Chains A and B, each alone.
Chain A
Amino acid sequence: MNKETRRHSAVVRVTHWITVIAFFALLITGIEIVISHPRFYWGETGNVNMQPLFSLHIPSSRDTVPTGYGYVMPDQNGWSRALHFQAAWVLVLTGLVYGISSLVNGHFRKDIVPARGERTGRAYWEVIAKYLRRAPLDEAEALRYNAVQRAAYLVVIFVLFPLVIWTGLALSPAFDAAFPLAVNALGGRQSARTLHFFVSGFLVIFLVVHVTMVYFSGFRSRMRAMITGRAVLPPEVQ
């Protein structure tokens, strides 16, 4: 029988899967909301009487938006907005639990911040080269994150999620009344909306790469580790 070892703590696993659910809810409802005005602007104001920065060439759920399509999609904004904010609360509160516990128990320091010997361009390149060669993963990979994974997770946890929350909050007129700098620092309301769209896009790119990497490195064993918390040790280290 293969030897098993602990891989992911309960906090990491539970917060990971709650985040997955909340993220999908946010993504789907976010797309629905964009469909009601698939035009993006820069600065404070923007509407159909103004030149957009760019438009998505999709039909809209509002007949006031010129899209070039001869039909209007059904309006889904009501439930989409409600679910978007409810999922955002779930995501933020889950993120707080994960963030605080990871600071306290050393998860960030031990597992997420790139290890001391791996903070060189060369170390990152070695991992990437290994991925490109499709070389078999060494035993350590099943037990700890490599340098590229750590860097990616650092960016997602400390850059993309904070940015997507900030740009999203900047779209709330009441929040902006209390904290005008939140929107002014981004260059205005429409800039905040455009940035919210792009940061969400980066999160989707991360998601696609993340799932692809899980697939290539052993879908079953990685899913098992994130669900049960246990990983089977590779034969060499048993």
Chain B
Amino acid sequence: MLQPDGQLMSAMELELLDDGPLEGSHTAALREATLRQPLTRFVPLGVEVSVVIAAMNEEKNLPYVFSRLPEGLHEVILVDGHSVDETVAVARRLRPDIRILTQSGRGKGNAMAEGFAACTGEIIVALDADGSTDPAEIPRFVSALCNGADFVKGSRFAQGGASTDITRARSLGNRLLGAFVNTLYGTHYTDLCYGYNAFWARCLPYLRVDCDGFEVETLINVRVAKAGLIVHEVPSFEQVRLNGESNLHTVRDGTRVLRTIVRERLSTASETAVLPRIAYRLLGS
């Protein structure tokens, strides 16, 4: 079977499309995702791309994720969050050259921070291990970086992007929080809380990931905006998690995101601004 760009699909992709581990609406979502994206299988030559995947109990999803990784990657780093299933073994079997780290703390933020610190490539791409983010979109992110961006964030709400996974409540919360950030920082983000991002490794000193939870994407987006880095958005398609349950809780994590936004805003308040400094101390504690 041919992809829209004329390239042959791999045997694993065909298996997944036909009667692989996916069922029902998952298959339809995957088919839609595959057909709507004119993707290349290669990252641009001459640039070293590191991919960081944070995973916890994702043994069933890794085959799909790894099958969609483009060729020519510098390294793939899987940060294992103390999985109790065969996540690590599956990863090693699927990709012998993979670098596997076991995170020292807990949470996605901690996993991302440790994965970023271990990268040796020029470009770092962060994506999810649950199969909701399509690794085949990596060349699109890399191209945007090579065309002048310092940081490229995927967007489900930009033209050409979509999501079959997001609920109305999460979508509404995402938009409200995004509008809040845009107002505070003068940005034009269309999707604040999406975990598919890529950036030059030189941007790491500006990110300083020091949170644990799902607010990590918001933290990164806000710090990138504060530093004045050039941010581009590329459309991205998010499909339903293939297997397992999500650890994301709308209200709890939404509150953490809001707290992160406010705390980051207060962190740049001058020393003479007493009330913001007190509020910052309270939020930081």
A binds B: no
Instruction: Write the residues of chain A forming the contact surface with B, with a CB cutoff of 8 angstroms.
Output: none
Instruction: Write the residues of chain B forming the contact surface with A, with a CB cutoff of 8 angstroms.
Output: none
